[in-house]
Amino acid sequence: MKHLSFLIIVTILFVGCGQGVSVTGKVTFSDGQPLTVGEVVFQTDTRMASGRIQPNGSYKLSSTTENDGVPPGKYGVKIVGSYDTSHIPADTLPPMPSANAPQPIPLIDPKFEKTETSGLTCEVKGHTTFDITVTKP
């Protein structure tokens, strides 16, 4: 019986200690069309997790400090890198495009680029699905 109690305690400590959880979702416009580029970022004062948006609008977060998912907690959410660059020749893309070079065209309202203005928050407890609806600029 002592061995069983010990095993249960060790299992609880192992499962509950520092384990990240899966966070997935889809980013779409209000008409249901997916946002096809960019990155979803969950952020607190001390933690950050991000995931690249796939061509179908889906994303899966991974933490910069955890290899196995996102630590539970409350996060502000933002979306970065959602620009159309198809009209820009590859040799003029950053790091330093000239002032006269064509500029990337934002695909979403710039408010989504900062956690302070996006209006998006998510509490991660267990496996979390967080779908996001964005608006155009």
pLDDT of residue 15: 41
**Is domain 20-84+103-134 annotated with CATH 2.60.40.1120?**
yes
Q: How far apart are CA 107 and CA 101, in angstroms?
A: 19
Tokens of 38: 């960019």
Q: Which segments in the chain show pLDDT lower than 50? A: 1-17
AA letter at 116: E
Identify the pLDDT of residue 7: 37
pTM for the whole structure: 0.79
Structure confidence at residue 119 (pLDDT):
98
Of all residues in the chain, what percent carry a pLDDT higher than 70?
77
Which has the closest alpha carbon to 54: 71, 76, 34, 31? Answer: 34
pLDDT score for 8: 41
